[in-house]
Amino acid sequence: MSIAKPTQTVSVSTTQVRATPISRSQRAREGAKGFGLFLMRAVEGAASFVPGGSVATASLRAAAGAGSLGRSLKSGGVGGAGGLSEEMQYAQLIDTQIAMQQQNIEFSTMSNVLKSEHDTKKQIVTNYR
């Protein structure tokens, strides 16, 4: 009588990284961020064709900068991977404010020139009658 030896096989497989599914809130955040970047690029592209477009671009940049500054302050600090320091964000906001003031001056000047031109033409018509 012979006893059969059991055959054993061992298979080794490589380990794989287990991916954690992305939560709904994270997906929504990423979608909103992507849409915001798309909107910013669209406004910047159209700024030169629309009166006051640079003001809209500057205000969007200011809102985006203020939002990131507020988030960084709430989280307990600034900096980190790829983040701007608080001083850099403040400087960026000041630059945006200066750009908006310059645009306001240019708009006011153009408005005054056009109003003056209109008043002159109106006076000519009134004198002609």
What are the tens digits of pLDDT across the range 51-80? 777 777 777 677 666 555 444 444 444 444
Is there a domain that residue 98 lies in? Answer: yes
pLDDT in tens, 84-113: 678 888 888 888 898 899 888 888 888 888
- Please count the structural domains in the chain: 1
CA angle 97, 101, 104 (to 5 degrees): 140
Is there a domain that residue 4 lies in? Answer: no
Is there a domain that residue 124 lies in? Answer: yes
pLDDT for 75 equals 45
Domain that holds residue 50: 25-128
CA end-to-end span of the chain: 135
